[in-house]
Amino acid sequence: MKLLVFSDSHRRNTSDMLSIIDEEKPDVVLHLGDVVDDVEDIRSVYPDLKVYNVRGNNDYGWHAQDVQDNLIVCVGQIKLLLTHGHLYGVRRNTKALAATARKHGCQIALYGHTHEARLNWDGGILIANPGSISLPYVAAPPSYLRLVIEGTQIQPEIVYLDQTY
Ligand SMILES: [Mn+2]
DSSP assignment string, 26-83: -SEEEE-SS-HHHHHHHHHH-TTSEEEE---TT--SGGGTT--SEEEEEETTEEEEEE
Cα 53 to Cα 30: distance, rounded to the nearest angstrom: 6
Residue 70 lies in a domain: yes
Residue ranges making up the domain that contains 26:
2-160
Note the pTM of the prediction, 2 decimals: 0.96
> What is the pLDDT at residue 139?
78
Exposure of 31 in the CB half-sphere (CA atoms within 13 A): 30
Q: How far is the CA of 32 from the centre of ligand 1 (A)?
A: 9
Residue 165 lies in a domain: no
Q: How far is CA 4 from the centre of its chain?
A: 7
We report the CATH number of the domain holding residue 118 as 3.60.21.10
pLDDT cut 90: percent of the chain above it: 88
Kindly tell me if the per-residue pLDDT of 81 is higher than 90. Answer: yes
> What is the pLDDT at residue 95?
97
Q: How far is the CA of 42 from the centre of ligand 1 (A)?
A: 19
Q: How far is the CA of 61 from the centre of ligand 1 (A)?
A: 15
- Tell me the mean pLDDT in the region 54-75: 94
> What is the pLDDT at residue 106?
98
Number of domains the chain contains: 1
